[in-house]
Structure 1
């Protein structure tokens, strides 16, 4: 597989394909309070040493790779509970709050898929630690989430290959928290009706 995707990029695509394209196709980036806090949080997590507590080992900053899916990334935390076989649980740290959408869960599932391929194990669940509310959310790596994640991987890879940045999302509330809002200029693109005008000309 020619193009290897960063696992973190899948969360960008799931959140907004245009955001994903601006970052990974056009190579633009802008930081706001949320991204800065997230970066600091991950830096703190990665700097912590591995440790053993009872029958569970905690490994931080673990690099993973899936040659089958063409994914690479780094886990915030990997919990390995002793057993036959051992139980692997990837843990992702997020600065915000739990979400009803699958954006964060897709990223976690991709991590689980990499672990399964690398260590020849089954990963039944992962966890997301939300810093703002100090809450650990257990995520089942079930068939539905695996299917959604596989679809996101395929769509993200296709967009990267095509190299075309899509229009802004219709979900305007997503734009308010996006660090790329000033670069993206979603309101300007939504106000531009030239594409609709040209389409109507051809239809007539």
Structure 2
């Protein structure tokens, strides 16, 4: 079963939507030289990406994305990858002469920002992930799942069922081993 394009609401996604109300307002504000533009549509022809940035900030000639998250500050590679992909789109759209060096994650539960350095390693990881996702979509294959404690909070848990799939695979493999 392939869960691409499936979306299921749960308490976490509803809370996240409520927290995003201002970020999703499409408004533009300016204060003390900081320009914030909310709900910015992004694309990259080069990488085949489209999406929406929660906020794009401009200050003293610097431009960078800010992504809102409902959770707590931490080292979440998926959040960093999302920001890097947004920066790749901005760089292409604006034809920037230099790569965007940093971006920010804003965690609502702690009301704190975390700077994310958009270094060569993160950029390479993002490009590998884009290519891997493109391959998954083209081949309609689903990557192996494994249960982690974060799974229980995922809105797709009832669709993905990582524990059940693991059990079925184990039963299938034991059945195959008995045949041979």
- By the TM > 0.5 criterion, same fold? yes
Q: Counterpart of 2:20 in 1: which secondary structure?
A: helix
Contact 1:92 1:127 in 2 (8 A): yes
1:161 aligns with 2:138: yes
- State which of 21, 24, 27 in structure 2 corresponds to 1:43: 21
Structure 2: state its 5+ residue gaps: none
Q: Distance in 2 between matches of 1:81 and 1:44?
A: 20
Aligned equivalent of 1:7: none
Structure 1: state its 5+ residue gaps: 1-17
Select the structure with the greater relative contact order (CA < 8 A; seq sep ≥ 6): 1
Aligned equivalent of 1:113: 88
Trace 1:172-191 onto structure 2 (pairs within 5 A).
Answer: 172-191=148-167
Deviation of residue 60 (structure 1)?
A: 0.9
Deviation of residue 165 (structure 1)?
A: 2.5
Contact 1:167 1:189 in 2 (8 A): no
Q: Distance in 2 between matches of 1:161 and 1:198?
A: 31
CA RMSD in angstroms comes to 2.0
Contact 1:57 1:79 in 2 (8 A): yes
- State which of 94, 98, 103 in structure 2 corresponds to 1:126: 103
Aligned equivalent of 1:102: 77
Q: Distance in 1 between matches of 2:51 and 2:159?
A: 26
